[in-house]
Structure 1
Amino acid sequence: MNPTRLLILFLSINIINYVDRQILSGVFPLLKEHFLLSDAALGLLGSAFMITYSLTSIPFGKWADRWLPHKVAAIGVAVWSVATVSSALAWSFASLFVFRALVGIGEAAYVSTAGTILSNAYPERKRSAVLGLFNLGMPIGGALGVVLGGWLGVNFGWQWAFFIVGVPGLILAYLAWKLPLRKQVTTENRATFGWDELIRLFTKNRPFLYTALGYAGISFAFGAIVLFVPTFFERSFGYSLEKATLLAGGLQVGAGLLGAPLGGWIADLWLKRTGRGRAYTLVVSMALSAIFLWAGLFLQSFLAFFLSAFFMLWHVGVATALVFDVTDKAIWNTAAAAAMFVMHFLGDIPSPYLVGLISDHTSLLFAFSLLPIPMLLASFFFWKAGTYLPKRASSS
């Protein structure tokens, strides 16, 4: 299949992926009022998705290494779409928790395969840029999810928000299933890949471990911010829910459309000068993002918030490409899923609940002021990963 058409299809799916994921953020205040929830309970709804997302990503990655990755991806898209539509039927906090957990299962099947499919369709020198374009689904879809959630929720009720955004995924699942793709990596010699080799991936491959830990630092901060930032704008700046979600969505999509492609381009350009170029890109971007987040919080500067998000989203595509750089191609799906597990288990599984809990006992402003710390830790871990990579650029 033409690589450009493949990229367009998977970018479209990724946009819907993040719409379905971030729709929750846009209706947080409505859910809080409807179910009488604390901020910690709201955070648990975000964690519900991430728990199943991380626990099932490795099995799906291993399955994709043995079967057709695009078929696994299509199944995942169908599952999360049905679960999102079902969220509209939630009658209690517990039932909504379950439906959001099912969304995580579906998205794990897709995300653990999509990056490897695209990485195999394009040459290595374009990998960061292509994955950066693919991951524009994060800011575009995330922004649409927040804005649509707020607008649909206020005007029609939070139930309609879940129902409407879940339907398009079913069509895209069918298109992914019908892709004329064959198995992309010969795995006959890898048929015995087991959990012992997965353990060795963490214990013997130090740059992979540091990359995964850096990814977790990003995930901890970013996962909490995107869920709570509309609520933060509503409480701290006094905006209505519609205006707060519109502002949050505009911030995310604007920073993403600029930051994600630029980060991928800089990483690929830096890679031509040194084999550590991608790691260095992440070191710089996460440090700057942390600094500007502190500035935005304490100066109440929207420009600083934007710059923090801008540098944060440089990682989109680059971190995934770095995972592939430090692992064997025959286990890319499994390695990507393993990195995803660490990223979520140590990142955005605990962070929404912890931020909500801190907010309940202090304020959301104070909770947000702690988030630059994991961002600086991410910068450190990416630097450590870079020390294991060659100083000279590859001649290939």
Structure 2
Amino acid sequence: MNPSRLLMLFLTINVINYVDRQVLSGVFPLLKEHFLLSDTALGLLGSAFMITYSLTSIPFGAWSDRWMPHKVAAIGVAVWSLATVSSALAWSFASLFIFRALIGVGEAAYVSTAGTILSNAYPERKRSGVLGLFNLGMPIGGALGVVLGGWLGATFGWQWAFFLVGVPGLILAYRAWRLPLPKQPTAEKHEKFSIRDLFRLLKNKPYLYTCLGYAGISFAFGAIVLFVPTFFERSFGYSLEKATLLAGGLQVGAGLLGAPIGGYIADFWQKRNGRGRAYTLILSMALSAIFLWGGLMFESFVCFFFSAFFMLWHVGVASALVFDVTDKAIWNTAAALALFVMHFLGDIPSPVIVGFISDQTSLFTAFSLLPIPMLLASFFFWKAGSYLHKRPAI
């Protein structure tokens, strides 16, 4: 299949992926009122998705290394879309928690395979750029999810918000299933999954440090994306529609600029220095932390924008770094384990922690602590880069 058409299909699916994921954030105030929830409980709804997403990513990654990754991805898209539609039927906090958890199962199957399919379709020198374009689904879909959730929820009710954003994924699942892609030839020598694959990956120090850096990004980014509409509503006094519109605009604007620019800079730097991708991540996370503190101290929307802009440099670059430091034959497994570590240490605990701190003090105080994991991410990427050769491969 033509690589450009493949990229467009997977980018479209990724947009829907993040719409379904972030629609929850747009209806947070409505869910809080309807089910009488605390901020900690709202954080748990965000974590429900990430718990199953992390726990099932490794089995799906190992499976796709041994079967047809695009069919594994198609199954995942169908599962998460059905779970999103079912969320409209939630009758209690517990039932909504279960439906959100099922969304994580479906998305794990897709995310642990899509990046490797595209990496196999394009040459290595274009990897950061291609994955950066693919991961534009994060800011575009995330912004659409927040905005649509806020608008549909305020206009028709939170139930319709879940239902309407879940339907398109079912059509895209069928398109992914029908892709004329063969089984990965690199998986033939790994017919049986072994737990040794995981231990071997964890003994790979640049890979481990990359995963820890990814976790630092995930901790901060997961909590910010989930709570920023509520933050704007409470701290700046905006209505739900305006708060979600601003949050969505911030995310999509910063993402459309940050993701491709970060990918271009990383690929450019990598051609001249074998540590270029790691250096790009070190710089971006440090700058993002500084601008977030500035945004909180001066109540500056411009600083919030630049924090998101530099944060989203990592889109595609961190994924490419994972592939750079691992064996191609187990890329899906490596990507899946990286997802597990990233979420288990990152955006699984962070929404609950931020919600708890908010309940005890304020959401402002909780946000003011988030630059710390960003700076830790910068440190871990520096450690990962120290194991790589300065000279790029010829």
TM-score interval (norm. to shorter): over 0.9
1:391 aligns with 2:390: yes
The CA distance in 2 between the partners of 1:15 and 1:196, in whole Å, is 35
Q: Which runs of 5+ in 1 are unaligned?
A: none
Alpha-carbon contact 2:293-2:368 (below 8 Å) kept: yes
The amino acid of 1:8's aligned partner reads M
Alpha-carbon contact 2:263-2:316 (below 8 Å) kept: yes
The amino acid of 1:273's aligned partner reads R
Partner of 1:147 in structure 2?
147
Partner of 2:331 in structure 1?
332
The CA distance in 2 between the partners of 1:184 and 1:281, in whole Å, is 30
* CA-to-aligned-CA distance 1:291-346 (integer Å, 9 cap, x gap): 00000011000000000000000000000000000000000000000000000000
SS in 2 for 1:272: helix
SS in 1 for 2:186: coil
The amino acid of 2:75's aligned partner reads I
Partner of 2:64 in structure 1?
64
Give the Å deviation of 1:188: 2.4
The CA distance in 2 between the partners of 1:10 and 1:39, in whole Å, is 34
Alpha-carbon contact 2:65-2:184 (below 8 Å) kept: no
Q: Could you say what the CA RMSD is over the residues aligned between the two structures, in angstroms?
A: 0.5
Give the Å deviation of 1:187: 2.1
- What TM-score do you get using the length of structure 1 for normalisation? 0.99
Give the Å deviation of 1:279: 0.3
The CA distance in 2 between the partners of 1:185 and 1:321, in whole Å, is 20
Give the paired residue count.
394
> Residues 284-323 of structure 1: matches in 2 within 5 Å?
284-323=283-322
Partner of 1:112 in structure 2?
112
The CA distance in 2 between the partners of 1:302 and 1:190, in whole Å, is 50
Partner of 1:55 in structure 2?
55
Partner of 2:372 in structure 1?
373
Aligned structure 1 segments of 4 or more residues deviating by more than 4 angstroms: none
The CA distance in 1 between the partners of 2:275 and 2:309, in whole Å, is 22
Partner of 2:174 in structure 1?
174
Alpha-carbon contact 2:23-2:145 (below 8 Å) kept: yes
SS in 1 for 2:115: helix
The amino acid of 1:211's aligned partner reads T
The CA distance in 1 between the partners of 2:237 and 2:105, in whole Å, is 36
* CA-to-aligned-CA distance 1:63-90 (integer Å, 9 cap, x gap): 0000000000000000000000000000
> Residues 79-228 of structure 1: matches in 2 within 5 Å?
79-202=79-202, 204-228=203-227
SS in 1 for 2:272: coil
- What TM-score do you get using the length of structure 2 for normalisation? 1.00
SS in 2 for 1:322: helix
The CA distance in 1 between the partners of 2:249 and 2:376, in whole Å, is 28
The amino acid of 1:239's aligned partner reads Y
The amino acid of 1:93's aligned partner reads F
Partner of 1:26 in structure 2?
26
The CA distance in 1 between the partners of 2:165 and 2:186, in whole Å, is 37
The amino acid of 1:388's aligned partner reads Y
Alpha-carbon contact 2:151-2:241 (below 8 Å) kept: yes
Partner of 2:343 in structure 1?
344
The CA distance in 1 between the partners of 2:233 and 2:42, in whole Å, is 15
The CA distance in 2 between the partners of 1:350 and 1:187, in whole Å, is 34
Give the Å deviation of 1:361: 0.3
Partner of 1:271 in structure 2?
270
Give the Å deviation of 1:386: 0.2
Partner of 2:352 in structure 1?
353
The amino acid of 1:352's aligned partner reads P
Give the Å deviation of 1:192: 3.6
Partner of 1:258 in structure 2?
257
Q: Which runs of 5+ in 2 are unaligned?
A: none
The CA distance in 2 between the partners of 1:46 and 1:84, in whole Å, is 13
Give the Å deviation of 1:193: 3.6
The CA distance in 2 between the partners of 1:128 and 1:64, in whole Å, is 22
Give the Å deviation of 1:199: 1.3
The CA distance in 2 between the partners of 1:331 and 1:342, in whole Å, is 17
Alpha-carbon contact 2:19-2:141 (below 8 Å) kept: yes
Seq. identity, %? 84
The CA distance in 2 between the partners of 1:6 and 1:219, in whole Å, is 27
SS in 1 for 2:294: helix
Give the Å deviation of 1:200: 1.9
Give the Å deviation of 1:96: 0.1
The CA distance in 2 between the partners of 1:186 and 1:383, in whole Å, is 30
The CA distance in 1 between the partners of 2:27 and 2:50, in whole Å, is 18
The CA distance in 1 between the partners of 2:188 and 2:26, in whole Å, is 46
* CA-to-aligned-CA distance 1:31-59 (integer Å, 9 cap, x gap): 00000000000000000000000000000
The CA distance in 2 between the partners of 1:376 and 1:185, in whole Å, is 39
The amino acid of 1:98's aligned partner reads I
Give the Å deviation of 1:184: 2.5
* CA-to-aligned-CA distance 1:235-264 (integer Å, 9 cap, x gap): 000000000000000000000000000000
Give the Å deviation of 1:191: 1.9
The amino acid of 2:3's aligned partner reads P
SS in 1 for 2:164: helix
